[in-house]
Every structure is written in C-alpha cells, then in structure tokens.
Amino acid sequence: MENELLKVFDQQGICIGTATRSEVHKTGHWHETFHCWFTERIDNEEFLFFQVRSSAKKDYPNLLDITAAGHILADESPVDGLREVKEELGIDLALEELHSLGMIKDSLNSPGFIDNELCHVFLYEQPQPYDNYKLQREEVSGIMMASLTEFEDLWFGKKKKIKVEGFLASVNNEKKSHSMLVTKKDFVPHEDTYIESVIKAIKKL
C-alpha cells in the first residue's frame, strides 16, 4: 500500500508528476483522494454517517471519520474511488446514485505525516440498512451517525459533546448496536475549512 503510485500536484492543482504513497506523506505533496459521505433525513433532520476507524490502522486508529474514503491512484480517475465504498463498507454504489460536492482541499498533519489532499467529495443520500454493511475489519470497525446540526455545533465549539449511534462489528462482522457521547477529539482532525465546505454543500442540496 505504501508503494502505491499517486499523481502529485502543486499548490495551483497542476499535476507535476507521480510519487509513492509513503513519499507523498513524507514530503507533503498534494495528491487526489475520494471522499464519500452518507447522509439520511429523519423527521426533517439531516444525519451524517461516520466510519469508526479500525484499531489496527496506522493513522488515527479508533477515531470517527468520513463514511468511506481512499487515495486515487496515478492511473485512476476520481470515479474509480467508488471502489473504496465497496472495499470498506461492502456496499456497491453507482456513480448515478451520488451527488458531487466538487473538489475540496484538506490537510492533516502529525509528526512524520503530512497529508495534503485534493478531495473529490461525493454525497450518498439513500439510507442503507445496517444489515447491508459488510465492513473491511482491518480498516473499519463500525458505523455511527450524528445529527448534522449537532456535529456542526460540536466541530465549531458551540457544544462540548454530542451523541452518536450506530453499530460496532466484531472480527467476524457480527454487528452490535452502540451509542456514545463524543467530543471533537474523537474525530479525525480534518481542517475546519474542509468540514465547513462539506456542511455548506450538504445544506444546499
């Protein structure tokens, strides 16, 4: 995986070559990713779905994150990122079922890890029963949902904690209902500008 070849871009979004995934995260080169957010409207309230990252993940284990996401390889287009939904969640989607939110920049930095992403962001609005999820356990250990409004309030400091609920999956993918109170620290630390752009785009649809 670390030797996967990715296109790299300058600050203006112009492709300047290719590099391995490990090199990209050491040097901070901009590269393309695929993000797919699942949403559902319940009683006129919008809910956002998050994956629970596996405890086996090298980066940000056990934190809540985008429903499904992954890198776009050098020989792929953004549409090819749909495979991430199938691989991580076991759900087969067609491009026609998604709303494109466009390209949004996002940067995540931690010691020895610089992740500058040109994110091709998509939204999936048709709810899936939990039975339909077949999680790739080395990547994802559960699915949680939160009110979009409450998540926005949490992220931008109006609330300290919010409730999320969904399920956690065992190693053999047996699902168990789960709810918990979470703080902003329980989420992967995406840039505020990225989260703000995603929320605004969802509200416009």
Of 141, 138, 159, give the one whose Cα is nearest residue 149: 159
So what's the pLDDT on residue 1?
67
Q: Where are the domains of the chain?
A: 5-204
Q: Are 64 and 48 in contact (CB under 8 A)?
A: no
What's the residue count for the chain?
205
Mean predicted confidence (pLDDT) in 98-125: 95
Q: Are 51 and 30 in contact (CB under 8 A)?
A: no
* CATH architecture type of domain 5-204: Alpha-Beta Complex (3.90)
The fraction of the chain above a pLDDT of 90, given in percent, is 92
Min mean pLDDT across 40-44, 178-182, 189-193 is at 40-44
Helix (H, G, I), strand (E, B) or coil at 49: strand
2 pLDDT more than 80: no
So what's the pLDDT on residue 111?
86
What would the pLDDT profile of 71-104 be if each residue is shown by its tens digit?
Answer: 999 999 999 999 999 999 999 999 999 999 999 9
Residue 140 is encoded by which pair of tokens?
């994802």
Q: How far is CA 139 from each of CA 5, 17, 75, 106, 142, rounded to the nearest angstrom? A: 20, 29, 23, 21, 10
Mean predicted confidence (pLDDT) in 150-158: 99
